Amino acid sequence: MHVVKLVTFNIAHARGLSPLQGISTSRKAKANLLKIARLLNELNPDIVALQEVDENSRWNGSFNHLEYLREHTGYPYAVLGVTSQRTGRFQLSYGNVPFARTAFEGNRNGDGLPQPETR
């Protein structure tokens, strides 16, 4: 029997233990993301489901958290399904991400998240 190891984690915009969701620096966000990457590397799951992953949000460094985590975890397959987006002076874009060691199969919905095939 093959066992699939799954981890799910709300990374809360990489704010760490801070209860406040305000403006943060890219340095602080990257430090928190490195802690998350180390945990994922230690747990070594087959699939990771992350919530509140920022793509290019001004409030925490204006960089792609998904790509940063991929760089430090080695998961080759990931898709960001954006659930909230705002343009303007304080742009934000974040959503949910499934990571996997093998490719996703099946159809994809408008957000890019894997969906099972319909019969």
Task: Tell me if 56 sits within 8 A of 62, measured CB to CB.
Answer: yes
Task: Tell me if 114 sits within 8 A of 98, measured CB to CB.
Answer: yes
Token representation of residue 119? 């019969």
Residue 119 lies in a domain: no
Residue 109 lies in a domain: no
What digits encode the pLDDT tens for the residues 72-94?
Answer: 998 988 888 888 888 888 888 89
Residues composing the chain: 119
Residue 33 lies in a domain: yes
Residue 112 lies in a domain: no
* Kind plus residue range of the DSSP H or E element containing 15: none
**Domain boundaries, position 21:** 6-104
The pLDDT assigned to 79 comes to 86
Token representation of residue 6? 């799954």
Count Cβ atoms below 10 Å from residue 29 Cβ, excluding itself: 24
The pLDDT assigned to 45 comes to 95
3-state secondary structure of 75: coil
What digits encode the pLDDT tens for the residues 4-56?
Answer: 899 999 998 888 877 766 677 889 999 999 999 999 999 999 999 999 999 98
When divided into structural domains, the chain yields a total of 1
The pLDDT assigned to 105 comes to 67
Give me the amino acid identity at 99: F
Residues in Cβ contact with 71 at an 8 Å cutoff, skipping those fewer than 6 apart: none
